[in-house]
Structure 1
Amino acid sequence: MRRRGLTPLVLAFGVLLTLLASAPALAAGYRYWSFWEGTGGQWQYATQGPSTARPADGSVLGFRFSVSKDAAAEAAKPRAAADFAAVCAGTPAVEGRKRIALVVDFGVPADAPAGDAPPQDAPRTACAQVAPDATAAEALAQAAKPLRYNSAALLCAVSGYPKQGCGEPIADTAQEPSADPSAKRSTDPSTETSANPKPSAEPEAEDGGPSTSLLVGLVAVAALAAAAVWQSRRRR
Protein backbone atom coordinates (compact mmCIF):
# COMPACT_ATOMS: atom_id res chain seq x y z
CA MET A 1 0.00 0.00 0.00
CA ARG A 2 2.75 2.44 0.91
CA ARG A 3 4.49 1.83 -2.38
CA ARG A 4 1.33 2.81 -4.24
CA GLY A 5 1.03 5.95 -2.10
CA LEU A 6 4.57 6.96 -2.94
CA THR A 7 4.08 6.54 -6.70
CA PRO A 8 2.56 10.03 -7.25
CA LEU A 9 5.44 11.58 -5.33
CA VAL A 10 8.00 9.81 -7.50
CA LEU A 11 6.22 10.94 -10.64
CA ALA A 12 5.90 14.50 -9.36
CA PHE A 13 9.58 14.82 -8.59
CA GLY A 14 10.37 13.37 -11.99
CA VAL A 15 8.28 16.12 -13.62
CA LEU A 16 9.99 18.78 -11.53
CA LEU A 17 13.47 17.56 -12.44
CA THR A 18 12.49 17.60 -16.11
CA LEU A 19 11.32 21.21 -15.81
CA LEU A 20 14.52 22.24 -14.08
CA ALA A 21 16.65 20.55 -16.72
CA SER A 22 14.76 22.13 -19.61
CA ALA A 23 14.51 25.66 -18.18
CA PRO A 24 16.56 28.15 -20.25
CA ALA A 25 19.59 29.60 -18.50
CA LEU A 26 19.35 33.28 -17.68
CA ALA A 27 22.02 35.55 -19.08
CA ALA A 28 24.73 36.19 -16.51
CA GLY A 29 25.67 39.60 -17.87
CA TYR A 30 25.51 42.07 -20.74
CA ARG A 31 28.07 43.95 -22.80
CA TYR A 32 26.80 47.48 -23.39
CA TRP A 33 27.26 51.25 -23.07
CA SER A 34 25.73 52.65 -19.89
CA PHE A 35 24.70 56.28 -19.49
CA TRP A 36 25.43 58.32 -16.35
CA GLU A 37 24.80 61.80 -14.95
CA GLY A 38 27.15 63.63 -12.62
CA THR A 39 25.51 64.94 -9.44
CA GLY A 40 27.55 66.53 -6.69
CA GLY A 41 30.72 65.05 -8.12
CA GLN A 42 29.25 61.53 -8.09
CA TRP A 43 27.97 59.36 -10.92
CA GLN A 44 24.31 58.40 -10.90
CA TYR A 45 22.79 56.00 -13.42
CA ALA A 46 20.66 58.06 -15.81
CA THR A 47 16.89 57.69 -15.60
CA GLN A 48 16.46 58.76 -19.23
CA GLY A 49 18.19 57.75 -22.42
CA PRO A 50 20.64 60.13 -24.13
CA SER A 51 18.20 60.76 -26.98
CA THR A 52 15.54 62.13 -24.63
CA ALA A 53 17.59 63.67 -21.81
CA ARG A 54 18.12 67.43 -22.24
CA PRO A 55 20.89 68.36 -19.81
CA ALA A 56 21.17 71.90 -18.50
CA ASP A 57 24.17 74.12 -18.98
CA GLY A 58 26.93 72.96 -16.64
CA SER A 59 25.86 69.30 -16.63
CA VAL A 60 28.27 66.37 -16.58
CA LEU A 61 27.46 63.22 -18.57
CA GLY A 62 29.29 59.90 -18.51
CA PHE A 63 29.29 56.90 -20.83
CA ARG A 64 30.95 53.60 -19.92
CA PHE A 65 31.38 50.42 -21.96
CA SER A 66 31.56 47.28 -19.85
CA VAL A 67 30.26 43.83 -19.11
CA SER A 68 27.87 43.91 -16.18
CA LYS A 69 26.71 40.75 -14.39
CA ASP A 70 23.23 42.15 -13.81
CA ALA A 71 21.98 45.23 -15.61
CA ALA A 72 19.45 45.79 -12.83
CA ALA A 73 21.96 45.90 -9.98
CA GLU A 74 25.52 46.35 -11.23
CA ALA A 75 27.16 48.54 -13.84
CA ALA A 76 30.68 49.91 -14.10
CA LYS A 77 30.83 53.67 -13.64
CA PRO A 78 33.07 55.96 -15.71
CA ARG A 79 36.58 55.93 -14.26
CA ALA A 80 37.03 59.71 -14.43
CA ALA A 81 35.57 62.22 -11.99
CA ALA A 82 32.23 63.89 -12.66
CA ASP A 83 33.87 67.32 -12.58
CA PHE A 84 32.45 70.01 -14.87
CA ALA A 85 35.11 72.59 -14.01
CA ALA A 86 37.96 70.21 -14.82
CA VAL A 87 36.51 69.24 -18.20
CA CYS A 88 35.19 72.61 -19.40
CA ALA A 89 37.75 74.96 -17.85
CA GLY A 90 39.29 75.69 -21.26
CA THR A 91 35.97 76.25 -23.03
CA PRO A 92 34.61 79.78 -22.47
CA ALA A 93 30.87 80.28 -22.15
CA VAL A 94 29.07 81.58 -25.24
CA GLU A 95 25.70 83.31 -25.15
CA GLY A 96 22.95 81.20 -26.68
CA ARG A 97 24.87 77.95 -26.18
CA LYS A 98 25.22 75.54 -23.26
CA ARG A 99 28.30 73.63 -22.16
CA ILE A 100 28.11 69.95 -21.33
CA ALA A 101 31.07 68.09 -19.84
CA LEU A 102 31.43 64.59 -21.28
CA VAL A 103 33.35 61.60 -19.95
CA VAL A 104 33.59 58.69 -22.38
CA ASP A 105 35.11 55.55 -20.87
CA PHE A 106 35.78 52.76 -23.40
CA GLY A 107 36.36 50.26 -20.62
CA VAL A 108 39.01 47.59 -20.20
CA PRO A 109 40.33 45.08 -22.77
CA ALA A 110 38.73 42.16 -20.90
CA ASP A 111 35.29 43.62 -21.66
CA ALA A 112 35.92 44.01 -25.39
CA PRO A 113 34.15 41.75 -27.88
CA ALA A 114 36.29 39.11 -29.57
CA GLY A 115 38.56 40.65 -32.18
CA ASP A 116 38.04 44.19 -30.89
CA ALA A 117 39.80 46.44 -28.37
CA PRO A 118 39.10 49.78 -26.64
CA PRO A 119 40.45 52.67 -28.76
CA GLN A 120 42.21 54.09 -25.70
CA ASP A 121 42.95 53.04 -22.13
CA ALA A 122 42.06 56.19 -20.20
CA PRO A 123 38.61 57.80 -20.33
CA ARG A 124 38.20 60.59 -22.88
CA THR A 125 36.84 63.96 -21.75
CA ALA A 126 35.37 66.73 -23.86
CA CYS A 127 33.35 69.90 -23.39
CA ALA A 128 30.49 70.02 -25.88
CA GLN A 129 29.02 73.40 -26.68
CA VAL A 130 25.54 72.90 -28.07
CA ALA A 131 22.17 74.59 -28.53
CA PRO A 132 20.11 75.24 -25.38
CA ASP A 133 17.58 72.51 -26.28
CA ALA A 134 20.15 69.91 -27.38
CA THR A 135 19.90 66.37 -26.05
CA ALA A 136 22.63 64.33 -24.42
CA ALA A 137 22.89 62.32 -27.64
CA GLU A 138 23.57 65.51 -29.62
CA ALA A 139 26.27 66.56 -27.16
CA LEU A 140 27.86 63.11 -27.38
CA ALA A 141 27.71 63.17 -31.18
CA GLN A 142 29.62 66.46 -31.22
CA ALA A 143 32.49 64.99 -29.24
CA ALA A 144 32.62 61.27 -30.01
CA LYS A 145 31.46 60.43 -33.55
CA PRO A 146 30.57 58.07 -35.06
CA LEU A 147 27.74 56.78 -32.91
CA ARG A 148 25.74 53.64 -33.64
CA TYR A 149 22.23 52.81 -32.41
CA ASN A 150 19.99 49.81 -32.95
CA SER A 151 16.35 49.85 -34.04
CA ALA A 152 15.23 50.24 -30.40
CA ALA A 153 17.41 53.36 -29.99
CA LEU A 154 19.89 51.54 -27.75
CA LEU A 155 23.33 53.15 -27.90
CA CYS A 156 25.54 50.44 -29.43
CA ALA A 157 28.84 52.17 -30.26
CA VAL A 158 30.68 55.38 -29.42
CA SER A 159 33.49 56.56 -31.69
CA GLY A 160 32.88 53.38 -33.65
CA TYR A 161 33.51 51.12 -30.65
CA PRO A 162 32.64 48.32 -30.55
CA LYS A 163 32.56 47.51 -34.25
CA GLN A 164 29.76 45.00 -33.85
CA GLY A 165 27.21 43.89 -31.30
CA CYS A 166 24.72 45.75 -29.14
CA GLY A 167 23.87 44.84 -25.57
CA GLU A 168 24.32 41.13 -26.17
CA PRO A 169 23.94 38.73 -23.22
CA ILE A 170 27.12 37.17 -21.89
CA ALA A 171 26.69 33.67 -20.49
CA ASP A 172 30.22 33.06 -19.17
CA THR A 173 31.33 35.53 -16.50
CA ALA A 174 33.87 33.25 -14.80
CA GLN A 175 36.60 35.78 -15.54
CA GLU A 176 34.61 38.63 -13.94
CA PRO A 177 35.58 41.01 -16.80
CA SER A 178 35.01 44.44 -15.29
CA ALA A 179 36.37 43.82 -11.79
CA ASP A 180 35.56 47.45 -11.08
CA PRO A 181 35.09 48.28 -7.38
CA SER A 182 32.84 51.15 -8.40
CA ALA A 183 30.50 48.84 -10.29
CA LYS A 184 27.95 48.52 -7.50
CA ARG A 185 25.03 50.93 -7.73
CA SER A 186 21.64 51.27 -6.15
CA THR A 187 19.78 52.87 -9.06
CA ASP A 188 17.25 50.53 -10.62
CA PRO A 189 17.53 50.77 -14.42
CA SER A 190 14.02 49.41 -14.86
CA THR A 191 13.02 53.08 -15.19
CA GLU A 192 15.28 53.58 -18.18
CA THR A 193 13.91 54.80 -21.49
CA SER A 194 14.44 53.14 -24.84
CA ALA A 195 17.71 54.93 -25.52
CA ASN A 196 19.35 53.71 -22.33
CA PRO A 197 17.51 50.53 -21.43
CA LYS A 198 18.52 47.18 -20.16
CA PRO A 199 20.26 45.61 -23.16
CA SER A 200 17.70 44.82 -25.85
CA ALA A 201 18.62 41.14 -26.01
CA GLU A 202 17.52 40.57 -22.43
CA PRO A 203 15.07 37.70 -21.98
CA GLU A 204 11.68 38.49 -20.44
CA ALA A 205 12.33 36.44 -17.29
CA GLU A 206 15.41 38.39 -16.27
CA ASP A 207 14.18 39.47 -12.85
CA GLY A 208 15.98 36.61 -11.13
CA GLY A 209 12.69 34.98 -10.02
CA PRO A 210 11.52 31.50 -10.90
CA SER A 211 10.08 30.92 -14.36
CA THR A 212 6.39 30.21 -14.92
CA SER A 213 7.06 26.58 -15.84
CA LEU A 214 9.03 26.06 -12.65
CA LEU A 215 6.25 27.54 -10.52
CA VAL A 216 3.71 25.29 -12.24
CA GLY A 217 5.96 22.31 -11.53
CA LEU A 218 6.24 23.21 -7.84
CA VAL A 219 2.46 23.53 -7.55
CA ALA A 220 2.05 20.16 -9.23
CA VAL A 221 4.52 18.56 -6.81
CA ALA A 222 2.67 20.00 -3.81
CA ALA A 223 -0.70 18.84 -5.11
CA LEU A 224 0.48 15.32 -5.87
CA ALA A 225 2.26 15.07 -2.54
CA ALA A 226 -0.93 16.00 -0.71
CA ALA A 227 -2.88 13.47 -2.75
CA ALA A 228 -0.33 10.77 -1.96
CA VAL A 229 -0.54 11.46 1.79
CA TRP A 230 -4.33 11.43 1.70
CA GLN A 231 -4.39 8.19 -0.31
CA SER A 232 -1.94 6.40 1.98
CA ARG A 233 -3.91 7.40 5.10
CA ARG A 234 -7.18 6.28 3.50
CA ARG A 235 -5.83 2.84 2.67
CA ARG A 236 -4.65 2.29 6.22
Structure 2
Amino acid sequence: MPYFCYPPADIADLNKFLEQSAKSLALAMALGGWDLPYKKLVEAFSASLAQHDQVPETLEALFELFEAALHARDYGSAQAKIVTSIMNRVDYLRGQPELLQAARVLPPGMRPEWLDRWALGEVVFLDFHPASEDERLFYLFTLFNLLDTFSRQYPPSAGNLLRFAVVLDESHTITSWSPANMTGQDSIPPQAAEINRVFRTHLTEDRSRGIGYVIADQQVDGLPGSAFEIPAIQLY
Protein backbone atom coordinates (compact mmCIF):
# COMPACT_ATOMS: atom_id res chain seq x y z
CA MET A 1 0.00 0.00 0.00
CA PRO A 2 1.80 3.18 -1.10
CA TYR A 3 1.93 5.76 1.69
CA PHE A 4 2.15 8.54 -0.92
CA CYS A 5 0.68 8.80 -4.42
CA TYR A 6 2.26 11.16 -6.92
CA PRO A 7 -0.22 13.70 -8.31
CA PRO A 8 -1.24 13.91 -11.97
CA ALA A 9 1.37 15.68 -14.11
CA ASP A 10 -0.99 18.56 -14.87
CA ILE A 11 -1.92 19.32 -11.25
CA ALA A 12 -2.43 23.05 -10.78
CA ASP A 13 -1.42 23.42 -7.13
CA LEU A 14 1.28 21.03 -5.88
CA ASN A 15 1.43 22.63 -2.42
CA LYS A 16 -2.29 22.08 -1.87
CA PHE A 17 -1.91 18.47 -2.98
CA LEU A 18 1.02 17.92 -0.60
CA GLU A 19 -0.98 19.46 2.23
CA GLN A 20 -3.95 17.19 1.59
CA SER A 21 -1.69 14.13 1.35
CA ALA A 22 0.06 15.12 4.58
CA LYS A 23 -3.24 15.54 6.45
CA SER A 24 -4.38 12.08 5.38
CA LEU A 25 -0.99 10.58 6.29
CA ALA A 26 -0.96 12.31 9.68
CA LEU A 27 -4.34 10.78 10.41
CA ALA A 28 -3.10 7.36 9.24
CA MET A 29 -0.29 7.77 11.78
CA ALA A 30 -2.87 8.66 14.49
CA LEU A 31 -1.59 12.24 14.60
CA GLY A 32 -4.55 13.89 12.89
CA GLY A 33 -5.83 16.20 15.61
CA TRP A 34 -2.93 18.65 15.56
CA ASP A 35 -1.68 21.07 12.91
CA LEU A 36 1.98 20.46 13.74
CA PRO A 37 2.36 16.90 12.37
CA TYR A 38 0.86 17.52 8.95
CA LYS A 39 2.76 20.80 8.54
CA LYS A 40 6.03 19.03 9.34
CA LEU A 41 5.11 16.23 6.92
CA VAL A 42 4.62 18.87 4.20
CA GLU A 43 8.10 20.22 5.05
CA ALA A 44 9.52 16.68 4.81
CA PHE A 45 7.87 16.10 1.42
CA SER A 46 9.01 19.49 0.12
CA ALA A 47 12.60 19.02 1.34
CA SER A 48 12.87 15.63 -0.37
CA LEU A 49 11.30 16.91 -3.61
CA ALA A 50 13.66 19.90 -3.67
CA GLN A 51 16.76 17.78 -3.06
CA HIS A 52 15.97 14.53 -4.87
CA ASP A 53 12.98 15.39 -7.09
CA GLN A 54 11.02 12.64 -5.34
CA VAL A 55 9.54 11.84 -1.96
CA PRO A 56 11.31 9.33 0.34
CA GLU A 57 10.91 5.80 -1.03
CA THR A 58 10.30 4.23 2.38
CA LEU A 59 8.32 5.15 5.45
CA GLU A 60 11.46 4.95 7.60
CA ALA A 61 13.20 7.51 5.37
CA LEU A 62 10.16 9.78 5.67
CA PHE A 63 10.21 9.42 9.46
CA GLU A 64 13.83 10.63 9.49
CA LEU A 65 12.97 13.78 7.52
CA PHE A 66 9.84 14.30 9.61
CA GLU A 67 11.83 14.06 12.85
CA ALA A 68 14.43 16.50 11.51
CA ALA A 69 11.70 19.00 10.56
CA LEU A 70 10.05 18.53 13.96
CA HIS A 71 13.26 19.26 15.87
CA ALA A 72 14.39 22.15 13.67
CA ARG A 73 13.08 24.67 16.21
CA ASP A 74 12.55 25.10 19.95
CA TYR A 75 9.11 24.84 21.51
CA GLY A 76 7.42 26.20 24.58
CA SER A 77 6.43 23.82 27.35
CA ALA A 78 2.93 23.17 25.98
CA GLN A 79 4.07 22.34 22.45
CA ALA A 80 7.09 20.43 23.73
CA LYS A 81 4.63 18.07 25.41
CA ILE A 82 2.87 17.54 22.08
CA VAL A 83 6.20 16.93 20.33
CA THR A 84 7.02 14.25 22.91
CA SER A 85 3.69 12.52 22.24
CA ILE A 86 4.25 12.75 18.48
CA MET A 87 7.72 11.21 18.72
CA ASN A 88 6.46 8.44 21.00
CA ARG A 89 3.92 7.58 18.33
CA VAL A 90 6.52 7.69 15.53
CA ASP A 91 8.87 5.48 17.54
CA TYR A 92 6.02 3.02 18.06
CA LEU A 93 5.32 2.88 14.30
CA ARG A 94 9.03 2.38 13.68
CA GLY A 95 8.70 -0.81 15.70
CA GLN A 96 6.10 -2.27 13.31
CA PRO A 97 8.21 -4.18 10.74
CA GLU A 98 5.23 -5.34 8.65
CA LEU A 99 4.05 -1.76 8.26
CA LEU A 100 7.50 -0.45 7.35
CA GLN A 101 7.88 -3.18 4.75
CA ALA A 102 4.43 -2.69 3.20
CA ALA A 103 4.33 1.12 3.02
CA ARG A 104 6.37 2.11 -0.03
CA VAL A 105 6.17 4.73 -2.76
CA LEU A 106 5.51 3.84 -6.38
CA PRO A 107 7.30 5.80 -9.12
CA PRO A 108 5.39 8.76 -10.62
CA GLY A 109 2.69 7.66 -13.05
CA MET A 110 2.47 4.13 -11.62
CA ARG A 111 -0.37 2.63 -9.60
CA PRO A 112 -0.77 -0.64 -7.73
CA GLU A 113 -1.63 -3.44 -10.15
CA TRP A 114 -4.80 -4.27 -8.23
CA LEU A 115 -6.05 -0.68 -8.62
CA ASP A 116 -5.90 -0.95 -12.42
CA ARG A 117 -7.79 -4.25 -12.27
CA TRP A 118 -10.44 -2.61 -10.06
CA ALA A 119 -10.72 0.35 -12.46
CA LEU A 120 -11.45 -2.12 -15.28
CA GLY A 121 -14.37 -3.60 -13.36
CA GLU A 122 -12.77 -6.50 -11.50
CA VAL A 123 -13.77 -7.15 -7.89
CA VAL A 124 -10.70 -6.73 -5.68
CA PHE A 125 -10.65 -7.86 -2.05
CA LEU A 126 -8.10 -6.25 0.27
CA ASP A 127 -7.92 -8.28 3.47
CA PHE A 128 -6.83 -6.11 6.40
CA HIS A 129 -8.04 -8.62 8.99
CA PRO A 130 -4.60 -10.09 9.82
CA ALA A 131 -3.20 -6.59 10.35
CA SER A 132 -2.97 -4.91 13.73
CA GLU A 133 -5.32 -2.01 14.53
CA ASP A 134 -2.49 0.44 13.87
CA GLU A 135 -1.77 -1.13 10.48
CA ARG A 136 -5.46 -1.18 9.55
CA LEU A 137 -5.79 2.50 10.30
CA PHE A 138 -2.71 3.25 8.22
CA TYR A 139 -3.84 1.14 5.28
CA LEU A 140 -7.36 2.56 5.23
CA PHE A 141 -6.34 6.21 5.15
CA THR A 142 -3.51 5.68 2.70
CA LEU A 143 -6.11 3.80 0.61
CA PHE A 144 -8.38 6.85 0.80
CA ASN A 145 -5.48 8.99 -0.37
CA LEU A 146 -4.77 6.60 -3.24
CA LEU A 147 -8.42 6.59 -4.35
CA ASP A 148 -8.59 10.37 -4.06
CA THR A 149 -5.56 10.74 -6.35
CA PHE A 150 -7.01 8.15 -8.74
CA SER A 151 -10.40 9.90 -8.91
CA ARG A 152 -8.82 13.22 -9.89
CA GLN A 153 -8.39 11.96 -13.44
CA TYR A 154 -12.16 12.15 -13.78
CA PRO A 155 -14.25 15.34 -13.92
CA PRO A 156 -17.02 15.84 -11.35
CA SER A 157 -19.65 13.18 -11.94
CA ALA A 158 -22.64 14.76 -13.73
CA GLY A 159 -25.90 13.62 -12.21
CA ASN A 160 -24.02 11.74 -9.47
CA LEU A 161 -23.09 9.01 -11.96
CA LEU A 162 -21.55 6.07 -10.08
CA ARG A 163 -18.41 4.85 -11.81
CA PHE A 164 -16.82 2.75 -9.07
CA ALA A 165 -17.85 1.15 -5.80
CA VAL A 166 -15.91 0.43 -2.61
CA VAL A 167 -17.20 -1.82 0.18
CA LEU A 168 -15.84 -1.10 3.66
CA ASP A 169 -16.53 -4.07 5.91
CA GLU A 170 -16.49 -3.83 9.72
CA SER A 171 -15.95 -0.07 9.57
CA HIS A 172 -16.47 0.44 13.30
CA THR A 173 -13.03 -1.07 13.93
CA ILE A 174 -11.57 2.06 12.36
CA THR A 175 -14.07 4.81 13.12
CA SER A 176 -14.16 4.12 16.85
CA TRP A 177 -10.39 3.64 17.13
CA SER A 178 -8.17 5.60 19.49
CA PRO A 179 -4.37 5.46 19.59
CA ALA A 180 -2.39 3.61 22.20
CA ASN A 181 1.30 3.69 23.05
CA MET A 182 1.44 7.46 23.48
CA THR A 183 2.34 9.45 26.59
CA GLY A 184 1.02 12.82 27.68
CA GLN A 185 -2.57 11.63 27.24
CA ASP A 186 -3.96 15.07 28.05
CA SER A 187 -2.25 16.33 24.86
CA ILE A 188 -3.73 13.66 22.56
CA PRO A 189 -6.59 14.97 20.39
CA PRO A 190 -9.91 13.11 20.21
CA GLN A 191 -8.71 10.72 17.51
CA ALA A 192 -12.01 8.98 16.76
CA ALA A 193 -13.73 12.34 16.18
CA GLU A 194 -10.95 13.41 13.80
CA ILE A 195 -11.12 10.07 11.98
CA ASN A 196 -14.87 10.48 11.50
CA ARG A 197 -14.49 14.05 10.25
CA VAL A 198 -11.95 13.07 7.60
CA PHE A 199 -13.88 9.86 6.87
CA ARG A 200 -16.93 11.96 5.99
CA THR A 201 -14.82 14.31 3.83
CA HIS A 202 -13.48 11.39 1.80
CA LEU A 203 -16.93 9.86 1.41
CA THR A 204 -18.37 13.13 0.15
CA GLU A 205 -15.53 14.25 -2.14
CA ASP A 206 -14.95 10.82 -3.68
CA ARG A 207 -18.69 10.46 -4.29
CA SER A 208 -18.68 13.72 -6.28
CA ARG A 209 -16.12 12.10 -8.61
CA GLY A 210 -18.08 8.90 -9.08
CA ILE A 211 -16.76 6.62 -6.28
CA GLY A 212 -19.53 5.31 -4.03
CA TYR A 213 -19.09 3.49 -0.74
CA VAL A 214 -21.04 0.63 0.78
CA ILE A 215 -20.48 0.48 4.53
CA ALA A 216 -21.08 -3.06 5.76
CA ASP A 217 -21.16 -3.35 9.52
CA GLN A 218 -23.18 -5.17 12.17
CA GLN A 219 -22.29 -2.55 14.78
CA VAL A 220 -23.78 0.60 13.29
CA ASP A 221 -23.54 2.32 16.67
CA GLY A 222 -19.79 2.48 16.09
CA LEU A 223 -20.12 4.38 12.82
CA PRO A 224 -20.05 8.18 12.49
CA GLY A 225 -23.58 9.54 12.55
CA SER A 226 -22.74 11.85 9.67
CA ALA A 227 -22.32 8.83 7.37
CA PHE A 228 -26.07 8.27 7.50
CA GLU A 229 -26.66 11.72 6.01
CA ILE A 230 -24.57 11.25 2.85
CA PRO A 231 -26.54 10.44 -0.31
CA ALA A 232 -25.80 7.13 -2.07
CA ILE A 233 -24.07 5.63 0.97
CA GLN A 234 -25.57 2.31 2.01
CA LEU A 235 -25.24 0.91 5.53
CA TYR A 236 -25.94 -2.70 6.48
Q: TM-score, normalised by structure 2?
A: 0.28
Structure number with greater Rg is 1
Bigger relative contact order, structure 1 or 2 (CA pairs below 8 A, ≥6 apart): 1
More helix by share: 2
Q: TM-score, normalised by structure 1?
A: 0.28
